Structure 1
């Protein structure tokens, strides 16, 4: 691509949701442009599924509900989620989601995670990859390192990875 990106439509969320197989869950779409400063994922939770409460220590996340309904658990109360609701999930704040009986589809947007570094050098070498002790933090769906070892979903691609 040229040095200057051009503005363009990337996805029609309703169309992407409609085209997904019934019962398909997890990340249905993700922002993939190389020069981006943001990450974004369209995620669908099946009926009555949940993202257990957790804390994202590094990033604020904007969550936009596009289909279905459910609840946001901020650690103190449950807040209603329905299409059109925009929620702010500040870094270091507890968060959990629970889909309603029709499921829940939402778009998350946050600052792109920088590559992990150690002493100014990237943690993943040109060859060899991550140290063996960190393999449990590698997402099986996208192959990237999860920042939070106990996070139930990959913060890069949105796929469920289970608690470590």
Structure 2
């Protein structure tokens, strides 16, 4: 076929390839938080490998825009939502529909999981809400900072 749209050459075909070894990442995680994230240019998905050490948690939050799949790859823990608490174990696949409230807590072995969702849209300005919702991505990014243990009252502590 001929040159279309003024391009200077043939388009390169996207190549399937291995991105990381999730088992190796989660066998001895270096820290809490995001261990890996998908950063390929032109992608339509976002994905992260996240680790919560034993007794740590992701505070309750709502993802208003995106459905999220969460696959537990190591450890155990719980997810708490409007429907109550559910145990998470290795191999468990959880659907978190947009608009649902959820919190995660790591068990005695810690909790490592993969999240996958449609690529996050650009920043939008929304009307103020009585209780501000935090996006799951922001919570995961916050995990790089020290997080409060399960059961401790008050706000998350951050290193200054």
Task: With the length of structure 2 as denominator, give the TM-score of the two structures.
Answer: 0.73
Aligned: 1:13 with 2:22 = yes
Matching of residues 7-46 of structure 1 within 5 Å: 7-18=16-27, 20-21=29-30, 24-46=31-53
How many angstroms does 1:42 deviate by? 0.3
Equivalent residue, structure 2, for 1:108: 115
How many angstroms does 1:76 deviate by? 2.6
Runs of 4+ aligned residues of structure 1 deviating over 4 Å after TM superposition are 161-164
* Higher Rg: 2
Matching of residues 66-105 of structure 1 within 5 Å: 66-105=73-112
CA distance in 1, matches of 2:83, 2:76: 19
How many angstroms does 1:17 deviate by? 1.8
Equivalent residue, structure 2, for 1:155: 137
Q: Are the structure 2 counterparts of residues 74 and 117 from structure 1 closer, same or farther at C-alpha, using a change threshold of 3 Å?
A: closer
Q: Is the partner of 1:81 in helix, strand or coil?
A: strand
The two structures, once aligned, show a CA RMSD in angstroms of 2.6
Q: Is the partner of 2:140 in helix, strand or coil?
A: coil
Task: With the length of structure 1 as denominator, give the TM-score of the two structures.
Answer: 0.71
CA distance in 2, matches of 1:88, 1:50: 18
Q: Are the structure 2 counterparts of residues 42 and 58 from structure 1 closer, same or farther at C-alpha, using a change threshold of 3 Å?
A: same
Number of paired residues?
131
